[in-house]
Amino acid sequence: MGLMNIFWSAGAIYVCVLAWAILPNLDPNYGWKYFVGLSAAPGVLIFLSRLYVPESPRFFMVTNQMDKAFEIVREVARFNGGNPPQVFDFKYLTHVVG
């Protein structure tokens, strides 16, 4: 909960600083358009970054897509420098989720 409050506060500060920097310094007919566009930029970046985040292995296991779940676990283990068969007991994972 505390982390969420930090992000809300940071977002409010971002918008205030952005308005202070843009609105008085640009043409009144167009400055608000730049302000709205730059205010939307963090949301667009978060949306685009979501496209590269893999789905949860638990979701695949609950929906009975074990091959996809194990592939995600293997990719994460490889990325972290581990050997997937030594790091995870796949039989245990299927027992816990199943």
Contact call for residues 67 and 39 (beta carbons, < 8 A):
no
Domain ranges for the chain, please list them.
2-50, 57-97
pTM of the model: 0.54
- pLDDT tens-digit readout, 57-85: 888 888 888 888 888 888 888 888 877 66
Tell me, rounded to whole angstroms, the distance of Cα 91 from its chain centroid. Answer: 29
Token reading at 89: 């007991």
- Kindly report, residue by residue over 23-62, the tens digit of the pLDDT: 888 888 888 999 999 999 999 999 999 888 888 888 888 8
Residue 95 is predicted with a pLDDT of 64
Q: CA–CA separation, 10 vs 18, rounded Å? A: 12
